[in-house]
Structure 1
C-alpha cells in the first residue's frame, strides 16, 4: 500500500487548480442550514390552499429549528437534514360568517430518515368553534398533502442546489454524465435485531463479564476516523439510522435508533475516545467501557478497541456487531478500506 501522496491515485494531487479532492475520495462538506432556512420560509410564504369550501392561506414559517448539510465521499453525495417546523395558517369558510380563523401546522420530525409520507403533521386552530373545527378538518384532509408537497420541493431543491460543485471531475474527465449523484440511503434503516443472543435481562444479579480487545486497520487519516465517530452527519452516514449525539465530555449518544446508548468520558481529537457504552439487549442498567486508541501509521490508521465489562454471554455477539455495524459499514460509507465491496 502506498503512502499518502506517493503512488496511490486516491491520494495524489494532480496538476489542476481544484485538485484538493482528487477522484472525490476525501470527505468534503457544505453547510446547507442557512440556505434551507430561506428555502423553507419561501415555500410556505403566503401559500394559498385550494378548496371549494374555504379560503385558506399558509402565511409564514414561525419556527424552523435544525440543521442541514451536503457531503461528498468517493463520488457519493450524502444529504443530512433535521428540522422542527411550525407554520402559521389563516382562513375562513366560504359559506360561513366573515370571521377569519388562524392556526398552526407542526412538523417535528422532518429528517432524511423519515419518508415524506411518514411525517407526523399536526394541525391546530386557535378558536375551536363550529367554523374553526370545520377549517381544521379541511386543513387535516387537504392541508397536510400541501405541506408534504412543499417539503418534497425543499428536499429536491436541496439535492439539486448542493450537488453543484460537490463532485469534481477527474483529470481529463470533464463530462457531466461521467459522475452519478447518489444519496446516502439513510432511509434504509439498519435493524440490529438479527444478531442478538437469547440472554434475558437480569436486574440486581451479579454479571459475569469479559474484555474484548480488537484491532482494525483503516485507509484514512487518524482525524478522519475520529470525525467518523464524533460528527453526527458522519455517524448518520455509516449507521444509516437516527443519531443523537453530544460529542463533549459527559455528553450522551444514541445510535441505531436506540440500540446503542452511552456517554463520552474522554475525547482527544485524532488520538483517543472513551465511552460508557451499552447494547439494549444487555441486563438493564449495565454499561461497558469502550476505549478507542487511534494511531496514524505511514500508510494507514490503526484502531485498537478495548471494551471492558462485556457480559460474558454477549461477547461473541458484541464482537460480531463491532465488525458488522461499525468497521465494515464505515469502510463502505467512507472508503476507509478498499477491500470492502
Structure 2
C-alpha cells in the first residue's frame, strides 16, 4: 500500500501562500462570530415594519449572545450558528392618540435546530393598554414576518461570505469533488433504532453482559479522528442533531436526542478516548465502558473499540448502531472512508 498521502492525491498538503489545505481534504474552520454580530445588528437597525395600521420600526439589537463558524471538509461546507437575541421596537397607531409605544422581540434559539419558519419569536410591549395591545397584535403578525425575512437574509449572507476562500484550488491532476454547502443538520434528526419486545429493567437488576470489540480503518490522521469525537461542531456534523459535549475528564455528553449519554473518563488527544456510555433503552442506571485506542499508521488511522458491559441481549443492535451512526456517518460527513491503492 502507498505511503501516507501517496495513494490519494487529495491528501497532498504543501506549503503555499494562500493556505496549506490543498484539495480541501482536511477539516478547516473559520470563526464567523464577529462578522455575524455585525451583520445581525445591521439587519435590525431602524428597520420599518410594513403595515397600513401603524408606524413601527425595529430600532436595534439589545442583546446578542452566541457563536457561529464555517467549516470545510472534503469540499463540503458545514455552517454552525446558535444565537440568543433580543430586539427593540417602537411605534404608534395611525388612528390613535399619537402616543409612541416600545417593546421587545425575543428570539431565544436561532440555530440549525429550528428552521426560520419555525422560530420561537416572542413579542412584548412595555405598556399593554388598549393601544399597546393593538400594536402588539400587529407585531405578532407583520413584525414576526419581518424578523424571519431578516434572519433568512443573515443565514444566506453567512453562507455566501464564508464560502469565499474555504474551498481552495485543486491540484491540476486531481478531479475536484463536487462542492456542496450543507448545514450542521439540526433539522435532520436521527432516531436510533429502538429495542423492541423488552421491558425496561429497574436500577440494580442483575443482567447478563458481554464485551464488544471492533477494529476499523479511517483515511484521516489520528488527531482528525479524535477531533471528530470531541469537537462539538464535528460531532454535530456526523450525528446530524443537537449535541451536549464536555470533552474533559468527568465531562458529560448527550447525543442523538438523548438516546446516547455518558461521561468521559480519559482523553489523550490523538491517542485514546475512554468513556462511560449507555443507550437510553438499557436498564436504568446501567453503563458500559468504551475504550477507543487511536493508532496512526503510515497511510491510515486504525481505531480499536472495546466496549465492556453491554447487555447481552442488545450486543448485536449495539454493534450495528456503532457501524451505522458512528463509523459510516463519520466517513460520509468527513470523507474518512476513501482508500486508493
TM-score by length of structure 1 reads 0.92
- Equivalents in 2 of 1:273, 1:178: separation in Å? 32
Structure 1 position 269, deviation (Å): 0.8
Q: Tell which deviates more after alignment, 179-188 or 155-164.
A: 179-188
Q: Give the corresponding residue for 1:310.
A: 310
Structure 1 position 7, deviation (Å): 4.6
Determine if the alignment matches structure 1 residue 79 to structure 2 residue 69: no
CA contact 1:288–1:310 (8 Å) conserved in 2: yes
- Equivalents in 1 of 2:193, 2:243: separation in Å? 20
Q: 1:38 to 1:21 in 2, by over 3 A?
A: same
Structure 1 position 68, deviation (Å): 0.8
Q: Give the corresponding residue for 1:151.
A: 151
- Equivalents in 1 of 2:192, 2:177: separation in Å? 39
CA contact 2:112–2:187 (8 Å) conserved in 1: no
Q: Give the corresponding residue for 2:198.
A: 199
Q: Give the corresponding residue for 2:43.
A: 43
Cα shift readout 1:149-203 (whole Å, capped 9, x = no counterpart): 00000000000000001101212489xx995342146155243344534322111
Q: Tell which deviates more after alignment, 309-318 or 321-330.
A: 309-318
CA contact 2:192–2:321 (8 Å) conserved in 1: no
CA contact 1:186–1:240 (8 Å) conserved in 2: yes
CA RMSD of aligned residues (A): 2.2
CA contact 1:197–1:314 (8 Å) conserved in 2: no
Q: Give the corresponding residue for 1:9.
A: 9
Structure with the bigger RCO (C-alpha within 8 Å, sep 6+) is 2
Equivalent residue pairs, number: 338
Within 5 Å, which residues of 2 pair with 1:269-288? Answer: 269-288=269-288
Q: Give the corresponding residue for 1:186.
A: 185
CA contact 2:190–2:240 (8 Å) conserved in 1: no
- Equivalents in 2 of 1:33, 1:43: separation in Å? 15
Cα shift readout 1:105-149 (whole Å, capped 9, x = no counterpart): 111121123211111111112222211111111111111111100
Q: Give the corresponding residue for 1:238.
A: 238
Structure 2, unaligned runs of 5 or more: none
Q: Tell which deviates more after alignment, 204-213 or 266-275.
A: 204-213
